[in-house]
Structures are given as C-alpha cells and as structure tokens.
Structure 1
C-alpha cells in the first residue's frame, strides 16, 4: 500500500509537537510493515524546498509556509507573523500541486488542524481526515474559543477546518473525547468518526527503572510549558507541598513559550524547580525513569502521548480528568486522575501518591506498564490503522462505481 501523509509538522521540525511525534512513530511502524510512505510537510526555513527518498520513504519539505521561526528567518518578525493570512492559500496550493505529482497512491491522511486540504477535491483515492485538535478548541474549558482580536488567526483557519470536515467521508480521531467535541461543535455524525489512538512505538524507549526510584519525591512534567497545560497550577501545587514541609523537587521538560519563560524567570531563585527545555529521547528516557511521579494537569487534552510514555517508564502518573487523558489512565489502578485548574486539589493528589505504601506504588507502576503494552502499543494500534485504510480504499471504490 502507498500511504501519503500531509502535515504541517514532523518530528525533525522546531515546530514539532504531538502531531509530529504521532506521525514519526506511525510512519516508522507502517514502513516496518512493508508499505510505501510519502510525507509532504513544511520546511522550517520557508525559503527552502527539499526532497529526500530513502527506500520506501519519501519526504518532501515545501517552501512558502505560513509561519515564522525567528531564529531561522530573522528580521521583520512582526510583518512575517501575518503569513498566516497572506500565505494561507498560496501554501495550500503548493500542497495540492505536490499531491497531484504522486503516482499509485492508495490512501492519503491529513490532519484537520491547519486546513491544509482546503484545495483538495476529488482524487482517485480516499482522503482520511485525522482529528488532532482544531484551531477553534479552547483548552481552558474544552469548548470553542470566544471571539477576540488576538484569536482572528484561529477563527480564520478554523472556518476552513470545519468546512473540510463537513465534506469528509473518512475521519479518524486520536480519542473519544475529541470525537465527541468534533461531533458536538462541528455537527459531524458520531458514526462517521473512528477512534484510533495514537500509537506508542515501544522500541523507541529503553527503561531500566529501579523500584527505589518510586520512593523518591521527584516530580516531573513533560510537554509544552503553557497555561493551558496546567503548568502554573502544578507549580502552585508544589509550592503548597513545600510549605507543608515536603522535600519535593519539580523538573519541567519541554518548549518554553512566553508563559514558560515568565514562569522560569519567576522561579529562578527556587533550586527545587528545574527547567530543561527541549531534550532528546535518550535524555528524556533517563529523566522519566529517575522520577517517581509524572504530572500532566492539562485543562483539556485531546490525548497526551507523554502520558503513555511516562506510564510505560513505570512512573506514577497523575493526569487530567478532562479530555483524552481520562481514556488512557484507569484511576487508582494504572495511574490517577485529577480535576484541572485546582492547585490545592492537585497538591492533595500528589501528596496522596507520594504517601502510598511501597507495595502499592510498585503495583501501580507495574499496572501502568502492562496497560500501555496491552492497549496502546504499536502491535495493538498499527493493525487498526491499516485495517481502517483498507476499509476506506474498499469503500471509496464502491462509491466510485455508483
């Protein structure tokens, strides 16, 4: 099967996030199954086009993207931020032209985020729309953004995302929570959306955690350091525990935006809190296995691949009860759920986890590892993707005959 992926980001991009990680793992695993893959993505340097082919994998980095990475393209930054408007259509036309060059395609997948399929019409193969998180989804409340001037780019892009999904025949979602959100706010029938969780490639992770690591008071957060991810409440919760006399430490791993940089500055004199910035997988594996409690208190999350990574490392995981994390964690058995935006409640939950009996900690750690292997590992998930693609191809052929 020749599978084409279109995505604004990939794992080697400085803009890479959850979609980039998902795609990298999925593509690697599909290639292992003997399939052919073409990826069409955007160059971080929007002046550069590149084409690489390695065996059954072809990657196209398109120029002309509608974003700006200041350290790559310095100068006139304010003006370049308007690329989301004046390059929106021209870049998506480049995507279409690149797709039309391809031969012998069986199926194409594109995320709803970014509306890169705005010019897609009828191809000779099915287009699968992958729900990752719409530009209109407000993570602070799990609803839709209320209009304000600073969110005009979200509403501009979100309009086209909604329009594309309204015309889609094949839609998958990374969680039931995101499926429900899309069905509610975009009026997509529930039975038109198939839930396929993002897979975790277990071969990417080699852990050698000792049981003793579970008895420390080392707390970990991994992900983008932003308000919506609940990092502010996590810091407040740790401060509550410090005032109670608990000798805890907090390690915050991930990209720092405006919120993260301010938080880092505010905590610069607190030796118990460390910011690492972005790190590679080998370093992250060591950090996972050397911390006892991993906390992900997002206000709302579509899925949260870092939750699965932390669980697979054997950490005692505390995740948000809102959104897709609640589908990954069995509360009290393979981890713990906590209501978001409640620093005091989060502090109580972390303290509860830290004070568990040693036998209970080992049991939950073991349960977490087994839960990931049995429900979210590549061997479980990849066949589901391939089955869906094959069904889409068969259904598309049937529709074409009518």
Structure 2
C-alpha cells in the first residue's frame, strides 16, 4: 500500500511546525515499519526544492510561489503535479490531507482521497463564535464534497463539523492522534518544585491569558511558583505580536514577579520531553481543541496535567482519575486546580501514574497505526 500525505507542516529542524506535521511524522514512521510506502508532499519552509528520506518517509518539499493573490493556485498546481509524478512511478492508493486540502487538487482515477478532520474553518468559527468567511467557507465545503472518506481526531470535532458539512454516507471513523511513547518517557529527578509548564501556540484560544491571570492568585499561597511558556508566537492580521500584547496588557498584574513568567519560545520536538520533565504540573487551559497533543504527551511522562473541561477535554482526561479538567475562561478555577496539585502531592503523583497508563492503552503509536491501516485497507478495497 502507498499512502501520500499532503501537508506544508512536515517537521524540519530549525523551523516551527504545527500538530498536523507532528502527527504525519509520527504515523508515517509507524506505517513504514508496517511495510507501507509513505510519501509526503508540500511547500518548503525555504525558497528551494528538496527531497529527503526521513525515517523511511519520502518527503518532497516544493518551492512556494509568491505571486500575491495567485500563490494558492500555483502552489496547488505544483502539489498536484508532484503527486501525479509520484503516482506514475509508484502507484498511490490513498491521498490524505487536512480539511481544505482537496478544494483545488485534481483527483487521480482509482485513488481514494481522505480528509483527516483536524478542525477546519467551520469548526473553529463556531467554537470562537465568529462568522464563517465566505471564501474560506466555500473552499472547505468544496473540499469536503470531493472527499471519499473521513477520519476525525475526536468525537467532538466530528459532531461539531457535521453540523455544517455533509459527511455521510461516505465512510468515517474516529482515530485519535498518536503519541510517541518512546520519546515521551518519564524522566526522574528533573522536577523543579512549583514550576508550571505550558506548551502550544501562544494565542488567545489556548487560554494563556487566563493562565497568566491565575499567577497572582497562586502566589498568595505559593510565592515561588513559576510559569514557563513554550511555543511560537501568534500574530494579528496587522502583524502585531500576541506575546507583546500580553506583556503590555497582562503583565502589570504580576507586579514585581514578572520574571517568574517566562516566554521560552518554540522548542524542537525532541527537546520537549525535557521541558515537561521539569514541570511540577503541566497546564493547558485551551478554550478550544480538536483533540490536542500536548496533554497526552505530558500525561505519558507521568505528569499531573490540567486540561480544558470544554470540547474534547473529557475524551482525553477523566477528572480526578487521570488528570484535572478546568474551566479555561476562569483564572480562579485554573488557580484552584494548580494549588490542588501543589497541596496534594501524593494524589497528584497518582494522577500522573494513571495518566501514563491511559496513554499507553489508548494513544500508543502501535494501536493508532493499526487503526489507520485497517481503515485505509477497507477503503482501498471498496
């Protein structure tokens, strides 16, 4: 079997990437070990074309066109031409992309096209209570109409997407994102007391503003608590930095303890476990997620994890059994959950142990790879 993934986010050292890229790198490696041929096609991070073999995955990074207003057209053609070229050499069985990925891509006869629902425009428009943009909404509807099958990363993203977009009667399944069990192993003796660790894009919907607002409430009882924030910055349409916005509008409440809240920037994926290892507790109070990778990654390292009670949070964590769920809009609730971890050390440690077992049972790459492979095989045979 030959699977071709279309994404611009496949990880490259020295460049930040999103969860989709991490997912494809992880699942691709596992599928290769199962004897599947895996190709990845997308735009390069730099102004040149590159081909590489990474863990058995054939990665084709194409030169992005920069004609304002038309780059989407030319980039799509480049991807389509490369997929056709690969198919002529070694026939492709399945092409997979994210929510809008099939809008303009020409389809090859005999090849099945899958959309993996990582959370598209309609999904986030609803969750963020904003209007669907006409152009993006049209693109996503067209992309979904052209898909032969769907994989949703959570029940939540499936149920909320199908409010707006037609999925049936085409095949659809729910398969969680895998966690790299080998990478996210417990690391002893690195915990720094009262250290909080957040990882993810630094933007409003990740709940980082409320987390910062919770710090003065925590300091009333635990004055030595610190917060390390790992992740790339987010920028407003006019180019303003969200991190700079936080420093201007939120840091005043921190008083003379500003140095206890530190933006660490993006970190290479392979170094992320060492950052989680330092945490007394990992906190991810997202307003919205499709599933999220950071929570189960930290859980896999036996960390007590505080995750959002909204969206798919309850699909990932069972409150007070494998972690803590929090109202992400309430800095008071965030502070209370963090203080609970600090105060009830034995109970928090037990949460971490149970959390790792939960990830091993549900999110291991072997289990997820088998689920994906079975779905692909069934789809190919239809």
TM-score, length-scaled by structure 1 = 0.84
Residue 163 of structure 2: which of 152, 177, 184 is its match? 184
Which runs of structure 2 are paired with 1:316-355 in the superposition (5 Å)? 316-355=304-343
Aligned-pair Cα RMSD in Å? 2.4
* Cα displacement (A) at 1:54: 6.3
Residue 120 of structure 1: which of 106, 130, 143 is its match? 106
Superimposed CA distance per residue, residues 152-200 of structure 1 (whole angstroms, 9 cap, x where no aligned partner): 6xx4234212211123221001111111111112233387431111111
* Cα displacement (A) at 1:15: 5.0
The alignment partner of 1:92 has SS state of: helix
Are the equivalent residues in 1 in contact too, given 2:184–2:298 (CA < 8 A)? Answer: no
Distance 1:55 1:27 in 2: 8
Are the equivalent residues in 2 in contact too, given 1:174–1:196 (CA < 8 A)? Answer: yes
Corresponding residue of 2:176 = 197
The alignment partner of 1:299 has SS state of: coil
Does the C-alpha gap of structure 1 residues 87 and 282 become closer, same or farther in structure 2, counting only changes over 3 Å?
closer
Corresponding residue of 2:92 = 105
Distance 1:144 1:185 in 2: 14
Deviates more, 1:30-39 or 1:382-391: 30-39
Corresponding residue of 1:4 = 4
Which runs of structure 2 are paired with 1:39-118 in the superposition (5 Å)? 39-45=40-46, 47-53=47-53, 56-65=56-65, 83=68, 85-101=69-85, 102=87, 103-112=90-99, 114-118=100-104
Corresponding residue of 2:262 = 274
Distance 1:391 1:117 in 2: 24
Residue 130 of structure 2: which of 126, 140, 145 is its match? 145
Does the C-alpha gap of structure 1 residues 17 and 164 become closer, same or farther in structure 2, counting only changes over 3 Å?
same
Distance 1:161 1:381 in 2: 26
Does the C-alpha gap of structure 1 residues 23 and 301 become closer, same or farther in structure 2, counting only changes over 3 Å?
same
Residue 351 of structure 2: which of 350, 359, 364 is its match? 364
* Cα displacement (A) at 1:248: 1.1
Number of equivalences: 367
Corresponding residue of 2:272 = 284
Structure 2 residue 119 is the aligned partner of structure 1 residue 133: yes
Distance 1:246 1:92 in 2: 53
Are the equivalent residues in 2 in contact too, given 1:22–1:199 (CA < 8 A)? Answer: yes
Distance 1:384 1:245 in 2: 45
Structure 2: stretches of 5+ with no match in the other structure: 235-240
Superimposed CA distance per residue, residues 117-149 of structure 1 (whole angstroms, 9 cap, x where no aligned partner): 52333522211111112134337x6156326xx
- Structure showing greater relative contact order (alpha-carbon pairs closer than 8 Å, 6 or more residues apart): 2
Superimposed CA distance per residue, residues 313-340 of structure 1 (whole angstroms, 9 cap, x where no aligned partner): 1111010112223211111101011122
Structure 2 residue 150 is the aligned partner of structure 1 residue 162: no
